[in-house]
Structure 1
Amino acid sequence: MQPTADFWGELFGPNWTAQGVAATISSAIALVAVGISSIVSWVQGSKTRSHVDAVNEKQETREREFKGREHWWERFEWACAEVASGDETRAGVGLIILSDLSVSTWANASDKLLIASVLDELFIEDSDEGEGIEDEASTEGE
């Protein structure tokens, strides 16, 4: 135990040397630097984790929205096919689905305009065909 006693005796004893003072100061500075870098690393790590969590949450929201819009489009295509099928029952179901799709949260303004355009086109074609039939019936009766 003599060497340890000599070290502490030399360091803090009456023979305080410049080397002992320099060693003490440099050790204290190193300890403070390690503490500061640890705090900075901890803060940056927590910021990085919170940023990654926010990015992941946004990505999940985007994926959920994309899947919802994709499903909306599939239902829209199916409803249009049903309306255009020529069968009154199927066309009625298709119209109900189209009206439901027009108020869906996945439908934006351009989608609602698209539904309105499709319905206008279908009903204009139907009314044009109906006028032709009525015109033929009125000319036959005369």
Structure 2
Amino acid sequence: MSGDTRRETDHQPGLRGGSECHEGHGEAAAASRPRLPPDLAEKEAEKLRQRFARISKAAGLYRTPQKRRLPFVALIILAFLAGFLAVLVQPHLPPTIVLRHYAAAPNCGLARLVKLAPARRGEPGYWPRHDADNDGIACEPVPSTNVD
């Protein structure tokens, strides 16, 4: 063995191998390749784009920008419709109170933020999941434990 630890594939251009093999790689190789005329290069690029789109569509991976926006637009429309219907279902309350009531739904912190906590059963801002001890008062203030 002569101390040369390179593998046989290190000498083949186009295969990854040892650090001493640079044939066919890098800037020198790119400069030595014949360049395509701009119009032909554009045609080749367009062919590649079309082929990529065709393969992606066949695999179910290709979505046009309009199709990507569709779920977001549908979600926004549904949110507005839900808010509108929520206001219609509660005709005896002003719309601002109804919206504040639904804003208080996730947790007591938001109920306090929209000034609906603490809330008694039947009042706007009352949600049964916020009534921990089931006494009819949701988001009760926690008694302070200050010891003098």
TM-score where L is the length of structure 2:
0.26
Kindly name which structure, 1 or 2, has the bigger radius of gyration based on alpha carbons.
Answer: 1
Structure ranking higher in helix proportion = 1
- Pick 1 or 2: higher relative contact order, CA cutoff 8 A, min separation 6: 1
TM-score where L is the length of structure 1:
0.27
